[in-house]
Structure formats: C-alpha cells, structure tokens
Amino acid sequence: MLDLAKYSSIGAALKDAMERFAAETCLIEADREREKARLTYAEFDAQALPFAEAMQHVGFSPADRASIIMTNQSKWLISAFAIFYSGGVLVPLDYKLTPGEHWQLLQHSNAKILITEYPIWRQLSAAPARAAATNLQTVLVTEAPPNADLAGAHRWEEFRGSAAPVFVPRERKDIASIVYSSGTGGRPKGCMMTHENYLEQCVALTSLYPFWPGVRYLSILPTNHAIDFMVGFFGSFACGACVVHLRTLRPEFVRDAFTKYKITYVSLVPLVLKNLQKGLETRFAELPPAKRKVFDFLVGINKALTKSHPRLWLSRRLLKQVHAAFGGELQAIIVGGAFTEPQTLQFFYDLGIPVANGYGLTEAGTAITVNDLKPFRADTVGKPLPGMEVKIVDPSLDGVGEVYVRSKTVMSGYLNEPELTAETIVDGWLRTGDLGKFDAQGHLHLSGRKKNMIVTEEGKNIYPEDIEAAFESLPAKEVKEFCVFAANYIWPKRSMIGEELIIVIHLENNQSFTDQLKQEIIQRNNRLLNYKRIHGLVLHDQDFPRTASLKIKRNELAERLSKLDRDRVILPL
Amino acid sequence: MPTLENTTQEVLTLAEQHFKLAPGSLSATDDFFKKLGIDSLQTLELLSRIENHFNIELPDYEVQGVSDFKTLAERIQSRL
C-alpha cells in the first residue's frame, strides 16, 4: 500500500499508484457473462492521461468542477482520475435521480464539465431544466450509438488530447469532491470533502481491513456513494487492488461474479445482504434431513471455533460448499449505508463469513465506527476507527445521547450553506443527529435518530423536505397546508429499522377528507421512486405554527403531534 | 411482432406466475412495488424471467424508475 501520509492529494496518490502497481490488474468490467474490459494500472493510466489533457485543453482549470453521472463502469474511474490529475473537484451524482434533480444539482454545484452515459444523456438533454445549468460548458457521453444525436455533447471515446497533460498538485485542505448527502427537491446538502478527508479515511479503514495487490473488490454499490468511492476506487487503487464492475445488478449475475472473479471483498447495503441470507436459507431448507443434520453440526463447530475471532481457513474447510458459492476467497462482506439487523450479521458470521458492520455518514467522511471482529459483535456498530473521536452528548439516564464526531475525515462544510454548516459542525464536532451509547467494551450501540429523516434498507437517506415537492399544488380549496415528517421524529422509537415517512395535512375550513383527495395523494406518492414514498397520513385540524417569514416551524408542529397516539392518528395510504 | 396489448398481457401473466398469484389478479396500471409489496431486488428477479421469456436484454438503466406493468411492457416492446 502507498504511504498515504506522504501525499497531499488524491491525484498525487493515484498518480504514484499507476507507476508503483503498473503491471497489476486494477479494473475488470463485466456485463452479464461478457467481460468488456480488463486493465492494468499502466493501461488505466494510458486511457486517463489523454482524457485529462483533453479536459485541460477545453479550459478545465484547477478547482473547476466536473460531474460524473454514470453506472459503475471503467469510464467512471478513468474520468475521476483525470479530474483529480487536473486538480479539479469531482461532483459524483446518483444516476438514479430524475433529470430534473440532476440538473438542479449540476446547477448547484456549478459543474463545468459533465461526464455521463448516452441513455442518461438522452433523458437529461430533453429535460426543460437543462437551461438552468448555465456554467456547464462541456458534456461527454460514453457509448453513444454511431448515428446518435448527441444534443451538443461530445463522445467520451473520442475526447483525447495528444500532448501530455499537466499534473496539478493540490493541498490537503483543498476540496476534492462535492458529495450530495440529500437535497434533491429541497435544500441541496453538498458535502465538501477535502483531500485530507479521503487520505485519512483510507488510512483508518485499511488499518482494520487491509487491501493488497491481488485483492478483487466487487463494486456493486454505486460509486457516487461514499462507501464505494472509498473502497471501490481510491482505497483499492492506493493498495494496488483490483476493482470488478458489473453493469447489471441482477442477483444471478452478482452470484456468478463471486465465483468467476474469486472476489475478496464486497460492499453491500442491508437490503442485498438480507436477500442473500434469504436465498441461502431457502437452499439450506431444501437439504435432505440427513445432510441438514450434518450441515447444522458443522455450523455449530464453526461457531464454537470462531467465537473469539474469525478463522477463515478453518471455516472454508468446514463449510466448503457455502464458501465455494462465494468464490472461496472472500475475506469479508462490508455492509453499510443503513442499519443492519443483528440476526442477519450473525447468520453470516456463523457460516464463517465475517461481516464488517459499521456506522458512518457522508459528512463524517464515510465510516465512523467499524466492527474489528475481535471478537465479532452483531449487536453493535463497532468501535471508533483510529483517528476518530466520538462522544455522546446530553445522555439520558440509560446513557443514550446524540453522537458527536471529531476527526480529520469530517467534511469542511456544506456548499453555499454557511448557516447549515455552523449548525452541523460546532467547535470542530460534527453533530450526527443519531442517538446512541457506548458499552463497557467501547462499542457503539445506535438506538434511533434525533433528526427528521429516514434511512432505507437500500442505504438511501430521505429527508422529508425533499419529498414535499411531490405534493405541492394539492387542490388548494381542500388542502390548506401540509408537511412531511419521519414518523420516528414525531414519535421517537428506539429503533433504526422500519423507518417511515408520513404526510400531515390540514384541510381548509368546512372541507372533509374525500376519497378523491386520498386518490390524488396516492397518485402523487406513486410518482415518487418506491423508496421515497410516504406510508401514512395524519389529518390535523389546527393551523401549522409558522415563523415570521411564514415557514412551517417543523419542531413545534412535531411536538404538538407527539401528544397524539401514533397508532390511532396515522391513516395508512 | 406482437402488439403492445399482447406484450402487456404476457408480462402480467409472467408476474402472476412468478409471484404465485391467481390469473387475472394483476392489471396493466398496477404499481408493482405497491401491489406486490416487493423491493427493488425482487423486481430484478422478475426482470430476468421476463428477459428469458422474450429473449431480450433489458439493461438496468432501461427499467430505472419504472413501477407499473404498462410502462414495463412499453420498454420491452421497443426491444422486440
């Protein structure tokens, strides 16, 4: 692994990785059963540098911003390296957002260059919101068909310079990327992550889970996500490891990839991990009784022998078939993005497959705590990573309070939001808005949220304010005002799972809640992506409390609603 | 080439078989996340079955944001 203490920027570290690991494979890209690309570090470098030169040639200057909206593929990483090589700021956006949301964030981030895939660009270029992104000068599109109308974009594959690009050094405190933790449809929260944030996070994570040349990391989470950016790009490359990209997430191809590419590490969100568990449980249940008995006996032995720490070589021998289905070389599954139920973690550990469970948020530079497996604990989110100071503020009698974090990995602030930044980072401490407590062994237990938001099992952070746009212009003669909340924000629950959003509606005087209005709400709700939808409705018969500038006082409204019986007032949608 | 109506009907039948539902219990405008109570992964499994049936490939991005059978059938139809 590179000695990251010596570097001041991601670009400088990656540049050295290209030389140091030149002959190692850094990237494999597969589309179903077809392998589309296999690159060594030297080949990767040879693709990225002419691209960087072409970017510089069209006026991409140090600290300029370039956005990537792509599925996980080789050109994502090649483009990102070219951006860092040129001293630019990367703005990675979730390709699953709508065109309107993409344009909103492209405008907010002031991106000068956009790098995207043809099918995404087809939708983006046709969207009326395009006019808003006035700073955008160059659009590069990958994999466009030969006669396609590019609507002003250039082909990524032909965007090549002939001279050597200039390497632009950056300082540790400079912004490396702007990562949106939320804000589509509402107030965009663009986390400004510095080069130091990434360099320090990488050192901390690899101290617990080392990567090395020969490691194959299966990149399934989108690379715009903080976890995959670190583990499936920068961290892997800083260690000379190989990233395997799949162009489809169909479960059968993901399963095949484990065996075909002998995967060493993979990061998953809880939803996918639970799905894997379900699949395995079904297969175990189909075993003939005698075989099942033997299997259960072997699992029992494995559990007893791995109590204090994992013994991979032993588990692979005892439970050969299970491990063979995962390729036989899996070191650990990294799970993140949302809270994972202990019984799922325990299920895999009992099979001899360690799960690196942790807790983090984009604002903190990805991970804050990670389970170090010494011993494995399914009931906690682990201990703070090296370099992380974590404290519990205003604890109640049972020790539960808000989790605060101070570290070199904490973002420098939210883009264009000094007030929000000042509320979130106080005296160097990041207020996470999550509730938890430490146990005697120094493990953090999470037990709910203080903030008005939910996290889905797919690892999506959903802020109620972002959902409200979908319900604007509900019939004004019927609906006087409305507000969306995370139900647990109003009625706190000591739980991190099953979180739901609700809409609170105040009808106009003399109006009743008609079936027609209900259908209208359902219709609008269905237009939202499935994980963003609200699950219930509360009818409220008083005016909402408002500020002098007529903004809803959400805290006050939530406090008022909290006096009502949750189970009785929420009408299911 | 089959009509969009035929394709839609075939998709509905495949979904009913896949999720073990009585014939005719799904309709074109149904939101499959809501009606079937499924998550995005279960949708991907259904898509694999649909691909095999129609002998086509539907890239993940093609079905991004699609949540009703009618729109899904339109995406399939464009690749037949």
**Nearest-CA distance B5 → chain A (Å):** 23
Q: What is the reported pLDDT for A338?
A: 84
Question: pLDDT tens-digit profile of A251-290?
Answer: 888 889 999 999 999 999 888 898 889 889 999 999 999 9
Q: Which two tokens stand for residue A172?
A: 């540790």
With an 8 Å Cβ cutoff, are A251 and B57 in contact?
Answer: no
Determine if the peptide bond prior to A375 is cis (ω within 30°).
yes
Cα A481 to Cα A519: distance, rounded to the nearest angstrom: 17
Q: What is the reported pLDDT for A183?
A: 55
The CA-atom distances, in angstroms, between B77 and each of A121, A153, B51, B54, B66 are 22, 28, 12, 10, 14
Give one DSSP letter per residue of chain B, joined into a string: ---HHHHHHHHHHHHHHHTT--TT---TT-BHHHHHT--HHHHHHHHHHHHHHHT----GGGGTT--BHHHHHHHHHTT-
**Nearest-CA distance A226 → chain B (Å):** 21
Count of residues for chain A?
Answer: 573
Cα A485 to Cα A213: distance, rounded to the nearest angstrom: 47
Residue A484: closest CA among A465, A456, A458, A469 = A465
Q: What is the reported pLDDT for A258?
A: 95
Taking CA atoms, what residue in A is nearest to B40? Answer: A530
Q: What is the reported pLDDT for A61?
A: 97
Q: Which two tokens stand for residue A488?
A: 């647990």
The CA-atom distances, in angstroms, between A204 and each of A223, A331, A393 are 20, 18, 24
Taking CA atoms, what residue in A is nearest to B59? Answer: A248
Q: Which of A69, A95, A116, A248 to mutate to test the interface with B (most CBs of B within 10 A)?
A: A248
Q: What is the reported pLDDT for A72?
A: 93
Residue A252 forms contact with B (CB below 8 Å): yes
Q: Could you state, in order of their start, the residue ranges of all structural domains in chain A?
A: 4-260, 379-451, 461-572
Q: What is the reported pLDDT for B45?
A: 83
Q: Work out the angle between the directed axes of helices B4-18 and B69-77 (0-180°, nearest 10).
A: 120
**Nearest-CA distance B22 → chain A (Å):** 23
End-to-end CA distance of chain A: give it in Å, rounded.
52
Cα A453 to Cα A484: distance, rounded to the nearest angstrom: 10
Question: pLDDT tens-digit profile of A420-469?
Answer: 999 999 999 999 999 999 999 999 999 888 888 888 887 778 888 888 88
Q: What does DSSP say about strands A265-268 and A216-219: parallel, antiparallel, or unpaired?
A: parallel
Cα A401 to Cα A437: distance, rounded to the nearest angstrom: 7
Residue A48: closest CA among A206, A218, A147, A165 = A165
Q: What is the reported pLDDT for A185?
A: 55
Q: What is the reported pLDDT for A271?
A: 84
Question: pLDDT tens-digit profile of A74-87?
Answer: 999 999 999 999 99
Q: Which two tokens stand for residue A116?
A: 């995207």
Using a 10 angstrom Cβ sphere, with 0-12 exposed, 13-18 middle and 19 or more buried, the burial of residue A353 is buried
**Nearest-CA distance A486 → chain B (Å):** 20
Taking CA atoms, what residue in B is nearest to A457? Answer: B39
The CA-atom distances, in angstroms, between B34 and each of A96, A163, A441, B27 are 19, 55, 43, 13
The CA-atom distances, in angstroms, between A564 and each of A512, A540, A572 are 20, 10, 16
Question: pLDDT tens-digit profile of A343-390?
Answer: 999 999 999 999 999 999 999 998 999 999 999 999 999 999 999 999
In this structure, which topology does domain A4-260 adopt according to CATH?
Answer: Rossmann fold (3.40.50)
**Nearest-CA distance A410 → chain B (Å):** 32
Within A425-530, residue ranges assigned H as helices are 464-467, 487-490, 515-527
Residue A499 DSSP one-character state: -
The tokens 């609603």 sit on which residue? Answer: A561
Residue A71 forms contact with B (CB below 8 Å): yes
**Nearest-CA distance A296 → chain B (Å):** 28
Residue A135 DSSP one-character state: T
Residue A570 DSSP one-character state: P
Residue A546 DSSP one-character state: B
Give the class (CATH, top level) of A461-572: alpha beta
Instruction: Select from A120, A248, A530 the Cβ nearest to the Cβ of B67.
Output: A530
Cα A454 to Cα A461: distance, rounded to the nearest angstrom: 6
Using a 10 angstrom Cβ sphere, with 0-12 exposed, 13-18 middle and 19 or more buried, the burial of residue A213 is middle
The tokens 């929260």 sit on which residue? Answer: A189
Instruction: Output the CA angle A456-A457-A460, nearest 5 degrees.
Output: 45
| Single-letter code of the amino acid located at A114 | L
Question: pLDDT tens-digit profile of A500-534?
Answer: 999 999 998 888 899 999 999 998 898 888 788 99
Percent of chain A with pLDDT over 90: 76
Backbone φ, ψ for residue A116 (5° rounding): -150, 175
Within A384-467, residue ranges assigned H as helices are 418-424, 464-467
Domains and CATH numbers, chain B: 4-77 (1.10.1200.10)
Cα A55 to Cα A112: distance, rounded to the nearest angstrom: 10
Cβ-Cβ pairs closer than 8 A, A with B, add up to: 48
Q: What share of chain A is helix, strand, coil (3-state, %, to 5)?
A: 35, 25, 40
Residue A234 DSSP one-character state: I
Cα A413 to Cα A489: distance, rounded to the nearest angstrom: 24
Q: What is the reported pLDDT for A191?
A: 96
Within A391-454, residue ranges assigned H as helices are 418-424
- Give the distance, in angstroms, between the CA of residue A520 and the centroid of all CA atoms in the same chain: 32
Q: What is the reported pLDDT for A275?
A: 85
Judge whether A119 and A108 are in contact, CB under 8 Å: no
Give the class (CATH, top level) of A379-451: mainly beta
Residue ranges of B 19-38 with Cβ closer than 8 A to chain A? 31, 33-34
Q: What is the reported pLDDT for A449?
A: 84
- Taking residues A292-302, report their average pLDDT: 97
A251 conformational bin, left if phi > 0, alpha if psi -120 to 50, beta if neither? alpha
| ipTM summary value | 0.76
Q: What is the reported pLDDT for A2?
A: 97
Cα A378 to Cα A359: distance, rounded to the nearest angstrom: 13
Cα A199 to Cα A11: distance, rounded to the nearest angstrom: 11
Residue A152: Cβ within 10 Å count: 12
Taking CA atoms, what residue in B is nearest to A272? Answer: B41
Cα A413 to Cα B52: distance, rounded to the nearest angstrom: 48
With an 8 Å Cβ cutoff, are B40 and A531 in contact?
Answer: yes
Residue B39 forms contact with A (CB below 8 Å): yes
For the cut 80, the answer to whether the pLDDT of residue A476 exceeds it is no
Question: pLDDT tens-digit profile of A179-236?
Answer: 998 755 567 899 999 999 999 999 999 999 999 999 999 998 899 989 999 999 999 9
Q: Which of B52, B60, B66 to mutate to test the interface with A (most CBs of A within 10 A)?
A: B60
What is the pTM assigned to this prediction? 0.87
Taking CA atoms, what residue in A is nearest to B58? Answer: A248
Cα A464 to Cα A520: distance, rounded to the nearest angstrom: 19
